Amino acid sequence: MTFPADLFPDTARVGADGHLSIGGCDLVALAGEYGTPLYVYDAATVLARAGAYREALAAAYPARATICYAGKAYLAPWLLRLLAPEGLGLDVVSGGELHVALRAGFPARRIYFHGNNKSEAELRQAVASGVGRIVVDNMDEVRLLWRVAIEAGVSQPVLLRIAPGVDVHTHAHLATGAPDTKFGVAIDTGWAEALVRAIVDAPAPRRPEARLELRGFHVHIGSQVRELAPYRAAVDRLFAFAADMRERAGFVMRELSPGGGYPVRYVPEDPDVRPVDMVRDVAATAIAAARKHGFELPELTIEPGRSIVAPAAVALYRVGSVKRGARTYVAVDGGMADNMRPATYGAAYTAVLADRANEAAGDFEGSAPGSDRFAIAGKYCETGDVLVQDVRLPPPRVGDLVAIPVSGAYQLAMASNYNMALRPAVVVVADGAARLVRRRETYDDLLAADVG
In this predicted structure, which of 141-155, 156-170, 384-398 has the lowest mean pLDDT? 156-170
Q: Mean pLDDT over residues 402-419, rounded?
A: 98
The pLDDT score that the predictor gives to residue 176 is 43
Residues 166 and 186: their CA atoms lie apart, in Å, by 11
The pLDDT score that the predictor gives to residue 170 is 45
Q: Which of 117, 109, 75 is nearest to 92 (CA)?
A: 75
Q: Which of 122, 83, 81 is nearest to 104 (CA)?
A: 81
The pLDDT score that the predictor gives to residue 216 is 97
Q: What does the pLDDT look like over 160-183, one tens digit per residue?
A: 999 987 765 443 444 444 466 787
Q: Which of 218, 273, 176, 252 is nearest to 91 (CA)?
A: 218
The pLDDT score that the predictor gives to residue 367 is 47
Q: Mean pLDDT over residues 19-32, rounded?
A: 98
Where do the H-state alpha helices sit in 185-252? Answer: 191-200, 229-248
The pLDDT score that the predictor gives to residue 2 is 80
Residues 175 and 153: their CA atoms lie apart, in Å, by 37
The pLDDT score that the predictor gives to residue 1 is 61
The fraction of the chain above a pLDDT of 90, given in percent, is 82
- In a 13 Å sphere around the CA of 120, the CA atoms on its Cβ side amount to 8
Q: How confident is the model at residue 361 (pLDDT cuts 50, 70, 90)?
A: confident
Q: Mean pLDDT over residues 142-163, rounded?
A: 95
Q: Mean pLDDT over residues 23-48, rounded?
A: 98
The pLDDT score that the predictor gives to residue 168 is 56
Residue type, 22: I
The pLDDT score that the predictor gives to residue 350 is 97
Q: How confident is the model at residue 60 (pLDDT cuts 50, 70, 90)?
A: very high
In this predicted structure, which of 49-53, 64-68, 170-174, 329-333 has the lowest mean pLDDT? 170-174
In this predicted structure, which of 130-134, 298-302, 326-330 has the lowest mean pLDDT? 326-330
Residues 395 and 359: their CA atoms lie apart, in Å, by 10
The reply to whether 381 belongs to the active site is yes
The pLDDT score that the predictor gives to residue 273 is 83
Say which of 381, 398, 433, 447 is annotated catalytic: 381
* Crossing angle (nearest 10°) for helices 229-248 and 275-293: 30
User: Residue 288: pLDDT above 50?
Assistant: yes
Q: How confident is the model at residue 221 (pLDDT cuts 50, 70, 90)?
A: confident
Q: Mean pLDDT over residues 191-219, rounded?
A: 87
Q: Which of 74, 1, 6, 63 is nearest to 357 (CA)?
A: 1
The pLDDT score that the predictor gives to residue 173 is 41
Measured from the Cβ of residue 292, the count of other Cβ atoms closer than 10 Å reads 12
Write phi, then psi, for 257 (nearest 5 degrees): -125, 110
* Crossing angle (nearest 10°) for helices 120-129 and 95-103: 30
Q: Mean pLDDT over residues 422-435, rounded?
A: 98
Q: Roughly how many angstroms between the first and final C-alpha of the chain, as a whole number?
A: 52
The pLDDT score that the predictor gives to residue 174 is 40
In this predicted structure, which of 125-139, 187-201, 300-314 has the lowest mean pLDDT? 187-201
Q: How confident is the model at residue 318 (pLDDT cuts 50, 70, 90)?
A: very high
The chain-wide mean pLDDT, for the chain, equals 92
Ordered structural domains, the chain, with CATH: 5-42+310-446 (2.40.37.10), 114-304 (3.20.20.10)
The pLDDT score that the predictor gives to residue 114 is 97
User: Residue 45: pLDDT above 60?
Assistant: yes
The pLDDT score that the predictor gives to residue 344 is 92
Q: Mean pLDDT over residues 153-157, rounded?
A: 95
